[in-house]
Structures are given as C-alpha cells and as structure tokens.
Structure 1
Amino acid sequence: MAAYGYFLSCEEFSPSQLLEQARMAEQAGFEALAISDHFHPWNDEQGQSAFVWSMIGALSQVTSLPVTTLVTCPTVRLHPAINAQAAATSAVLTDGRFRFGIGTGEALNEHILGDAWPEASQRMDMLEEAVQVIRELLTGEQVTHHGPHYTVQNARIYTLPEQPVPIYVSGFGPQAAALAGRIGDGFVTMTPDADLIGRFRSAGGGGKPVIGGLKVCWDTDRDRAVKTVHRLWPNEQLPGELAQVLPTPRHFEQAAELVTEEMVRKATTCGDDPDEHITAVRAYTDAGFDEVYVNQIGADQRQFFDFYRTRVLPDLPRSR
C-alpha cells in the first residue's frame, strides 16, 4: 500500500500559485507534498524558479501536509552547513513533517557561482561527505569538520526539531541507488524501476521508504494536453546524463528541439481517462514505491484536483 502526494513544480508556477495548489492538494485528498529545488527552470517557457526554502516556510502556514524536497543538491550552490540549518528550520516550521530529499544535482543550477562541475563519481563523493556534515550539525552539537570537499569551523545549529530530519537520497543508476541504501533514510527515484529499488534495498535500504513521482497532463482534449507537455516539459524526454550536464535553459531548449509530440504522447499520461492515470500511478506502487507524487503540467490545476479527488485517488490502494 502506498501514500499519494502532489509534486509542486517551482519551475512552472509562481509562489502564490504553488501555495494555492498546496491548499487544493490537501482538500483533494493528497497526503503529502513534494517540491522541487532549482535556481533555473529547465527552459524559459516554464518561466519560474522560486527559492525553495522561502516556499517551505510559506507552505508551513497554509497546509498541514508533510513536505519533501525533490530534490536539493546540498554540495555546490549552498554549503552543506547552510543546507543543514535550512532543513532544521523547515522541520521546526512544519512540526516535524519535513523530509530532506537530496541528490548530486545538475549543472543547470549548480554552476552559477563559477564552480567547476565535477564528474558523477566526484559528485557522489561530495554528496556522501555533505550528508556526514549535515547529520553532525543536526545533532545540535558544535561541529568542526575538515574533509576533502568541505570545511566547517565551530558551527552549531540552535533551532532544531524534536526528531532528526530524515534524509532521502536520490539516484537514477545502480551506483547512486547503492549510495542511497548506504547513507540515506530513504530513496528517491523517478522511474518505476523495480530492479533499481532492489539495488537500493540490497545495499542497506532494507525497509526504508522509496518515493518518487510522475508528471501528467489532465485535459479534456488529449491532443491539447500533448501540446501543453511538449511546450512546457520536453526536457523530460531527453536521454542519458543530459539533464545533469547541460548548463543553461537555452541549452535545454536546443536539445529539446529533438523531442517530438509523438515522443511526448507515448511517454506522458495525457487526457481525462481515469484508467490511464490510475495505471500510470500504479506502475510505481507495483514496482515497490511507498510514496508517489503526481504533478499536473499546465494551467488546469483546479480541474486536475477535482478529477483526482473524484476519479483517481478513490481507486488507488491506500496506506491508510
């Protein structure tokens, strides 16, 4: 059995729109919220990119749902010590309902200060050290750390939640899944890949939660929905490591010129057939996910939430 949440896209919607979506998600019966953490959108058509820590503070005042970052890169753009303080404050504001989803990041967001963008193996080493620093700081003890990637000097976090902040580690390949199993309190991945989950569990993931999400586009006109996805999120269909290494929205726009509407139609759930939406979500629960977050692409948010409240969520197996 799984829990179902709504995925707030900071890249596509303004802060006020995201807050309204959070309210509607809770009213529709979603059980949790996830929120992206970007400095840039993937392309200019998406057009937004709010600061996630401000958004979490605002969300804490308008909803009682748990909030998870999907995902923050705690290694380059912001030092792990600053991320630790942000996570601690977020957990306090949400009364302990915050989970810190983290990953190795994308050049799109992390190169902005002029830092070199490391190769994947080094990014994983940096993430492991960052988790060590963050966990030490979240104890509330004074921390001094001199590691290969990070230095912390006489740092102590004073505003702390009653319980440690869970750290969920993202991974899209076997090495990253194994790292998540070893250092994470849970695993984040975005495709319903049972083999990848097995890799996470065999590497130390055991019974830890697995969470992930998918994008859909509800619309009464399937063709119009496909065009909406193709206009706003063609980057979802880019292969391999492009999402990790392309540095600007313009580069993503150039690469996305290779993405066709037919590719979108085959890969994304579009339209208003509840069975198709239910099947798409159940692919994740069947693969072993504990939490599945759904994101609606495009402007038809209220209609989407009404549709899921009445036609989709009641027919999904629930955790409670």
Structure 2
Amino acid sequence: MVRFGYTLMTEQAGPRELVRFATEAERAGFDFEVVSDHYFPWLDEQGHAPNAWSVLGAVTQATERVELMTYVTCPIMRYHPAVVAQQAATVQLLSANRFTLGIGAGENLNEHVVGRGWPPVNVRHEMLAEAIQIIGGLFDGGYVNYSGRHFRVDSAKLWDLSEPRVPIATAVSGAQSVGLFAPMSDAMIAVEPDARLVEEWDSLRRAESAKFAQLPVCWDPDREAAVRRAHEQFRWFAGGWKVNAELPGPPAFAAATRFITEEDVAENIPCGPDVDPIVAAAKPFWEAGFTHVALVQIGGDHQDGFFSFARDHLLPALRRAAGH
C-alpha cells in the first residue's frame, strides 16, 4: 500500500508556521511528514530556513499519528555524525517511535557555511558511508570509537535510545550509490521514478524496505497564479540534483535559473486546482515500486487551502489510483 506524505518545507515558512502545518497535515489525513534540513533557502523569494531539528522536536509534541522523517539531513560537514545520531535518537523518543532518519550527501548550498570547502561527490559518498557506520554503531548502544579516513569518534555513547532503533533511509541517485548504501540502510530515498533503482536496491536487501520519493505541486484555485508562484519559488528544481548539489547559495540559483520560463516550470510541476495532473505525476513513482510519496505544496502562504483540498479531494484520489 502506497503511503502519501506532506513536506514541511523549511525554506518557505518560519518555525511556528511549520509546526501548525504539521498538525493541519495530520488532520487532513496525510500518512507521514518529512522535513527539509536547510541553512539557506534555494531562492531569496522563499525567504526562510529555521533549524529543522528544533522544528521536529516541536512537531513530535504537536502531532500524534503521522510518521516523521528528515528529508534529508547531511551528516558529513555541518553536522558531525555523532551529533546527528544523538539528535535522531532524541526525536525518536519524543515521537514515540514515529521517526526515520533520512540522510544524504548534501548540497553546497547548506554545507559551505562551516568553511571546509565542498568535496567532489565520490568523496562525499565516502564520508556518508563512514557517517552511517558511526550513526549505526551509536544506535546499537555502548561506547563507539572510530578512526576513518574522514571522521574520528572518541568514546561516544548515546544514553537515551529507543527500542527498536531508529531506521536509516539514505538518498541514492544511481547504481554506484545504491551499491554502496543499500546494504547499510533500512530504506531508500530517490528523486526520480526509476524502477531500476528500486530493483537494484531490492537485490541488495534481504528484507523488504520502504522507498521514499517527493513530488512538488502548486495547488491554487487560479492556475495562472499557481504557475507564477511555482516559477517564482521553485524554478531551481529544473536544474536537477547533480547541478543543485554544487551551487553555493541563493544568488547562484537565481543566476542559473534566469532563463527558466513559467511554461518550463508548468511542464514539470502540476499547477492549479485539479486533482488529475497531480495523480498523473505521482503515478510513475508507485509504478516504479516506491512505497512513500511526499508532496510539497509550493508557497508558505498557501497551505491552508491545500489542506482542505488534500483532505476532500487529493488524498482520496491518490489512494484510489494507487489501488487502496
């Protein structure tokens, strides 16, 4: 059964608003919620970037049912993996075992702030593999000492741990990252509805695991207004993740997307008041084998109408189409 989620987009709303959105999304009937972990918004027009972990702590107390997840945290530069493990263990206890730690190799946009430069992707993958080993070791309990190429840990121990341990979901983009991270992870995260990724992931897993995807949408009663807003705030999405991971800040994204038109955005993001385009955009994910699809409603000031639309029309339509 496919589960449908809501994205707490830290780039487009402040912390108090995000906590309110979390409660409204739960009331609307979403199955899970994911939160982005950013130091910068993608574009100045989005205008926000509160700390995701602080928001998550509040969300655990404001919600009761929905599963929660970081989408995604980068445990290789801005955060040391031992710190991420402590944060995740704490959120899991606060949420009564509703939390999954979603991690990835990060973006220059958020990680450059600590002044360590930005390594190439193969090095970032090496760092992420070491980080998973450290985090997993801490989740297992006891003292952890680690000496790797990129990280050192000296007698670290988590004193407050949940049972069962926090699941780890890792972002992948191709065969190389699947081969590296599938044996080390509990679930998969990907941005494209690529059945080959799912098949390769499953071939390396002994047990079935969740596969998470994300889909941006821009609901609005006025389709033209939705297209304008999607272009203003989400045109960065057209660059693709290989490009997006390398750009250093909002001015770079503004420059890189200056020739992206409203028509370009509307071709790639469902915009307007209708259910059918969103269902059509989501369908390739579950057909490829994804088990979880998190929706992003574009525009921090345009969430309340979306929750009513999702409750009354969108979620029932998605579940019917997915064969629920």
Aligned to 2:178: 177
RMSD across aligned positions (CA)? 1.5
Mapping for residues 38-117 of structure 1, pairs under 5 Å: 38-64=38-64, 65-117=66-118
Aligned to 2:12: 12
Letter in 2 for 1:204: R
Letter in 1 for 2:308: D
| Displacement after TM superposition at 1:57 (Å) | 0.4
Q: Is the 8 A contact 1:124 1:176 kept in 2?
A: yes
Letter in 1 for 2:290: F
Mapping for residues 169-208 of structure 1, pairs under 5 Å: 169-204=170-205, 207-208=208-209
Aligned mates of 1:316, 1:262 — CA distance in 2: 25
2:310 maps to which of 304, 308, 311: 308
| Displacement after TM superposition at 1:319 (Å) | 8.9
Letter in 2 for 1:229: A
The superposition leaves residues 107-152 of structure 1 with CA deviations (integer Å, 9 ceiling, x where unpaired) of 1111111112111111111101100001111122011111111111
Secondary structure in structure 1 of the residue aligned to 2:113:
coil
Q: Is the 8 A contact 1:180 1:186 kept in 2?
A: no
Identity of aligned residues (%): 39
What are the ranges of 5 or more consecutive residues in structure 2 without an aligned counterpart?
none
Aligned mates of 1:239, 1:289 — CA distance in 2: 20
Aligned to 1:154: 155
Letter in 2 for 1:312: L
Q: Structure 1 stretch 126-135 or stretch 196-205: which is displaced more?
A: 196-205
1:292 and 2:303 correspond: no
The superposition leaves residues 211-250 of structure 1 with CA deviations (integer Å, 9 ceiling, x where unpaired) of 1111100011111111101101110001462211111111
Q: Is the 8 A contact 1:216 1:296 kept in 2?
A: yes
Aligned mates of 2:241, 2:69 — CA distance in 1: 25
The superposition leaves residues 145-190 of structure 1 with CA deviations (integer Å, 9 ceiling, x where unpaired) of 1111111111111011121110000012222222232211000012
Aligned mates of 1:262, 1:312 — CA distance in 2: 24
Aligned mates of 2:76, 2:35 — CA distance in 1: 18
Aligned mates of 1:203, 1:272 — CA distance in 2: 41
Letter in 2 for 1:85: Q
Q: Is the 8 A contact 2:275 2:317 kept in 1?
A: no
Aligned mates of 1:199, 1:217 — CA distance in 2: 32
Letter in 2 for 1:21: F
| Displacement after TM superposition at 1:272 (Å) | 1.0
Q: Structure 1 stretch 94-103 or stretch 136-145: which is displaced more?
A: 136-145
Q: How many residues align?
A: 320
Secondary structure in structure 1 of the residue aligned to 2:101:
strand
Q: Is the 8 A contact 1:238 1:259 kept in 2?
A: no
Secondary structure in structure 2 of the residue aligned to 1:217:
strand
Aligned to 1:31: 31
Q: Structure 1 stretch 39-48 or stretch 187-196: which is displaced more?
A: 187-196
Aligned mates of 2:4, 2:206 — CA distance in 1: 21
Q: Structure 1 stretch 260-269 or stretch 171-180: which is displaced more?
A: 171-180
| Displacement after TM superposition at 1:205 (Å) | 7.1
| Displacement after TM superposition at 1:301 (Å) | 1.1
Change (3 A) 1:258 1:240: farther
Mapping for residues 248-287 of structure 1, pairs under 5 Å: 248-287=249-288
Q: Is the 8 A contact 2:42 2:236 kept in 1?
A: yes
Secondary structure in structure 2 of the residue aligned to 1:292:
strand
Change (3 A) 1:240 1:154: closer
Aligned mates of 2:207, 2:195 — CA distance in 1: 14
**TM-score using structure 1 length:** 0.96
Secondary structure in structure 2 of the residue aligned to 1:211:
strand
Mapping for residues 197-236 of structure 1, pairs under 5 Å: 197-204=198-205, 207-236=208-237
Letter in 2 for 1:307: F
Aligned to 1:2: 2
What are the ranges of 5 or more consecutive residues in structure 1 without an aligned counterpart?
none
Secondary structure in structure 1 of the residue aligned to 2:226:
helix
**TM-score using structure 2 length:** 0.95
Change (3 A) 1:179 1:319: farther
Q: Is the 8 A contact 1:181 1:205 kept in 2?
A: no
Letter in 2 for 1:316: L
